[in-house]
Amino acid sequence: MVDTPKPEELIENIDHTPPEEPWEDTPPDLSPGNFCYPTKKKNLEYLGLPTPTTDEWSPSDEEWPIPENWQQIIHEGFKDLLGKYRSLRIFMDTCVRCGACADKCHFFIGTGDPKNMPVLRAELLRSVYRNDFTRVGKILKKIGGARPLTKQVLKEWFSYFYQCTECRRCSVFCPYGIDTAEVTMMARELLTLLGLNINWILEPAANCFRTGNHLGIQPHAFKEMIEFFCDDIEEITGKKIEPTFNRKGAEILFITPSGDVFADPGTYSMMGYIMLFEHIGLDYTLSTYASEGGNFGLFTSSEMMKRLNAKMYAEARRLGVKWILGGECGHMWRVINQYMDTMNGPADFGEVPVNPITGTRFDNAASTRMVHITEFTADLLRHNKLKLDPSRNDMYTVTYHDSCNPARAMGLFDEPRVVLNAVCNNFYEMPESTIREQTFCCGSGSGLNTEEIMDLRLKGGLPRANAVRYVHEKFGANMLSCVCAIDRAALPPLMSYWVPGVDVCGVHELVGNALVMEGEIERTTNLRFEPLTEEAEVEADV
Amino acid sequence: MGILQQNREKWLKKWLDTVFATYPAESVPFFRNTADTFANPVGATIKTGLASLYDALAAPQFDPDTAKKALEPVVKLRAVQEFTPAQALGFLYELKTIMGAGAESPREEKGEIFSRIDAAMLMAFDLYMENKRTIYSLRASQARDNVRQLLIKKNLICELPEIDPELAK
């Protein structure tokens, strides 16, 4: 007879206790499913970045393909960054480990992994800083919180700095204003010196460098996609719209993330922008060269960010536009609002943006020459320039996710809400501690929106989803609006798992639905071709 | 069931402790003590879920649907966290251990509760796998949809047209 263990024996064999050793000695979990796939070598080569010593490798390999003098490369790189950025030195020196940030990170809240506490994540880098660059660290070693850069530390960096979405929620709570997202950016820049970056970041960056956008959509295909949307708009509204491309002399250049062109539900926002511009008679053009608002250089190195960002200005100058209008994007706005002016500014083209319809001068964008679409639309609304029928969005009970970067990196809180309140009748806010500057990340930002770490993304997105579930249950919210292309890609699976019954949209999709355009036919569907009323639905079924 | 009801406060607390003990020691105080549901969804889910499940197990008549409803959010959470399946669901059997070490109780009553826990465990298996399947399909559909939609829009591939049911007859 088979010797079957008794239940008690089985229970005894299940070890629930986490490892006893201190965090410094706990190795990172780099088993499959717990890391993003490393980048293909060709992407690094295309961008002129350092490459690993072999073509194919996995973070779960014992030995990583890095050059023999890797420690020296990191040390030199670190030294270089410390010389370049006084902020980094301050971030490394000032943390008093008060713990205010500890429980503010969505990855910590979802996983309970102490290395996802922002203070400890930064400590991974800080401990090496102390060891290499401070006298106290050199003398006191481990007692002074210093530790040498070993291969395990390097693996830890790869694991945890690609488990941070650079959302900056933690820095809102830091009494010293330490920007932990920038600590992550610096660590990733150091890892990139050894070719240790991930494919979901490097491939879009390389594509962007070559064709102008993340997916590598070529100019003719980009144009055809937009024309395809115009066919849909014509079917829905009866209005034929013909946007222009690369038109010199246009007043405004419109740049949006390419996600709005190739990925649902962003495409419906793209339709919304086009309809809005047509309705107000805006003199604008689209570019097939600056066909990407997103900038994955932000997740690679400052130099890469600068290079990718420069094409916006180059194209604006080439076309001779007065200013740039930017679509609903996340990190694009962090780059524009916080770094563009330093890297490539002040702008050497055009003039201070003025809304040609209302005459409003956007002095906040005087130097960058770039205005956010919700600022622009909110301004149109304030001047009563739009005719709207918000009842066309009545099938939706809408809530709004403050996308991290527009919220925390540019303080864009009220403009999207002004727009939402104008274009839909049912709008409800999520709890106060989960919106505006305290907004919770979608869990997939900063290049982590990749399928191989779906579990991690779902864990990281739990605090966001939990707040959505609250408005879903309390007010019947069924539409989560946002102003970020990564959100529009990341939130649908997050909702499918945690809050089924809630869909995701961009703010300008709802604008497109509500907009009453001159000469349009009576609409029977929204931009998704869903019937507007229940009667229409019944008719459609017959 | 009398014995579970009599010891509710003590045993539920112990039971919660065994679940929280499956997380890293540094995180336990946060999960256990942070009361704000929105700041601490993990702790809130576990506390609410286990309390409801405890009551379902203690009820005079065991209702599997009530137990399942209580289990759902907890299993959904544990299914995405860093656990093996046994670690994720093992907390259910911990209640048996707590009861074993606790007050003496009539053998039949204990037997009944144990079989309720076993039934809950079987439900938890199903829920766990359902959640895992959802995660796998979300993964697969992301990989597929990324490119597929573009190919359809560009007319490089086409979907089968809708067939008029009248013509199909």
Q: What is the DSSP letter of A429?
A: P
| Interchain contact A7–B (C-beta under 8 A) | yes
From the list A117, A215, A459, which residue is nearest B80 (CB)?
A459
Whole-angstrom distance, CA of residue A535 vs CA of residue B1: 52
- Answer whether residue B45 is part of any domain: yes
Can you tell me the mean pLDDT for A305-330?
Answer: 95
Examine the pLDDT at A2 and tell me if it is beyond 60. Answer: no
Backbone φ, ψ for residue A255 (5° rounding)? -125, 130
- The answer to whether residues B30 and B42 touch, using CB atoms and an 8 Å cutoff, is no
Q: What does pTM read for this prediction?
A: 0.92
User: To the nearest whole angstrom, how far is the Cα of A10 from the nearest Cα of chain B?
Assistant: 10
Predicted pLDDT at A263: 87
What digits encode the pLDDT tens for the residues A206-245? 999 888 888 888 899 899 999 999 999 999 999 999 999 9
- Answer whether residue B166 is part of any domain: no
In terms of Cα–Cα distance, which of A328, A243, A323 is closest to A294? A328
The residue among A451, A456, A504, A529 with the most chain B CBs within 10 A of its CB, best to mutate, is A451
> How many C-beta neighbours within 10 Å does residue A99 have?
12
Lowest-confidence region among A7-11, A79-83, A115-119, A517-521: A7-11
Backbone φ, ψ for residue A504 (5° rounding)? -125, 140
- Answer whether residue B129 is part of any domain: yes
What digits encode the pLDDT tens for the residues A85-136? 999 999 999 999 898 999 999 999 999 999 999 999 999 999 999 999 999 8
Whole-angstrom distance, CA of residue A357 vs CA of residue A380: 8
Predicted pLDDT at A236: 97
Examine the pLDDT at A498 and tell me if it is beyond 90. Answer: yes
Chain A contact set for B42 (CB, 8 A): 109-110, 112, 462
Q: What is the DSSP letter of A528?
A: T
Q: What is the ipTM of this complex?
A: 0.88
| Interchain contact B35–A (C-beta under 8 A) | no
Lowest-confidence region among A140-144, A167-171, A378-382, B63-67: A140-144
The residue among A232, A466, A469 with the most chain B CBs within 10 A of its CB, best to mutate, is A466
> How many C-beta neighbours within 10 Å does residue A430 have?
25
Contact (CB<8Å) A433/B36: yes
From the list B42, B90, B135, which residue is nearest A497 (CB)?
B135
Residue A479, H or E segment: strand A479-482
> Residues near A21 by Cβ (< 8 Å), separated by ≥ 6?
none
Contact (CB<8Å) B154/A225: yes
From the list B23, B93, B134, which residue is nearest A497 (CB)?
B134
Contact (CB<8Å) A111/B82: yes
Q: Which residues pair with A361 in a beta bridge?
A: A354
pLDDT confidence of B145, banded at 50, 70, 90?
Answer: confident
CATH number at residue B116: 1.10.490
DSSP assignment of A260-321 equals HHHSTTHHHHHHHHHHHHHHHT--EEE-SSS-----GGGGT-HHHHHHHHHHHHHHHHHHT-
Domain count, chain B: 1
Chain A contact set for B142 (CB, 8 A): 451, 454, 493
Predicted pLDDT at B107: 76
Can you tell me the mean pLDDT for A39-64?
Answer: 93
Whole-angstrom distance, CA of residue B25 vs CA of residue B23: 6
Predicted pLDDT at A1: 45
> Strand, helix or coil at A253?
strand
Phi-psi region of A301 (alpha: psi -120 to 50; beta: other; left: phi over 0): beta
Chain B contact set for A224 (CB, 8 A): 154
- Answer whether residue B93 is part of any domain: yes
Examine the pLDDT at A13 and tell me if it is beyond 80. Answer: no
Predicted pLDDT at A94: 93
- The answer to whether residues B38 and A470 touch, using CB atoms and an 8 Å cutoff, is yes
Helix, strand, coil: what percent of chain A each, to 5? 55, 5, 40
Phi-psi region of A446 (alpha: psi -120 to 50; beta: other; left: phi over 0): left
Contact (CB<8Å) B26/A114: yes
Whole-angstrom distance, CA of residue A407 vs CA of residue A414: 10
| Interchain contact B115–A (C-beta under 8 A) | no
Contact (CB<8Å) B37/A225: no
User: To the nearest whole angstrom, how far is the Cα of B57 from the nearest Cα of chain A?
Assistant: 19
Mean pLDDT, chain A, rounded, equals 92
Q: Which residues pair with A372 in a beta bridge?
A: A326
pLDDT confidence of A5, banded at 50, 70, 90?
Answer: low
CA nearest to A500 within chain B: B134
Can you tell me the mean pLDDT for B69-98?
Answer: 94
Angle subtended at Cα A240 by Cα A234 and Cα A245, rounded to the nearest 5 degrees = 115
Can you tell me the mean pLDDT for A451-463?
Answer: 95
What's the Rg (C-alpha) of chain B?
22
Chain A contact set for B41 (CB, 8 A): 109-110, 462-463, 466
Can you tell me the mean pLDDT for A412-428?
Answer: 98
Lowest-confidence region among A337-346, A505-514, B94-103: B94-103
* Residue linked to tokens 């511009």: A277
| Interchain contact A27–B (C-beta under 8 A) | no
Predicted pLDDT at A26: 84
Q: Kindly state the tokens that stand for A289.
A: 């060269």
Predicted pLDDT at A55: 84
- Answer whether residue B48 is part of any domain: yes
Predicted pLDDT at A32: 87
Examine the pLDDT at A324 and tell me if it is beyond 70. Answer: yes
**Burial of A535 by CB count in 10 Å (0-12 exposed, 13-18 middle, 19+ buried)?**
exposed
Report in angstroms the alpha-carbon separations of A19 from A27, A146, B25: 10, 22, 9
Predicted pLDDT at A137: 86
Can you tell me the mean pLDDT for A323-339?
Answer: 94
DSSP assignment of chain B equals -HHHHHTHHHHHHHHHHHHHTTS-GGGHHHHHH---TTT-HHHHHHHHHHHHHHHHHHSSS--HHHHHHHHHHHHHHHHHSS--HHHHHTHHHHHHHHHHHS----HHHHHHHHHHHHHHHHHHHHHHHHHHHHHHHHHHHHHHHHHHHHHHHTTSS-PPPPPPHHHH-
| Percent of chain A at pLDDT exceeding 70 | 95
pLDDT confidence of B144, banded at 50, 70, 90?
Answer: confident
- Domain extent at residue B140: 2-153
Predicted pLDDT at A460: 96
- Structural domain boundaries of chain A? 22-197, 203-514
**A422 HSE (CA, 13 A, CB side):** 25
Whole-angstrom distance, CA of residue A401 vs CA of residue A295: 21
Chain A contact set for B153 (CB, 8 A): 225, 228, 262
- Answer whether residue B49 is part of any domain: yes
Predicted pLDDT at A7: 52
Chain A contact set for B73 (CB, 8 A): none
The number of residues making up chain B comes to: 169
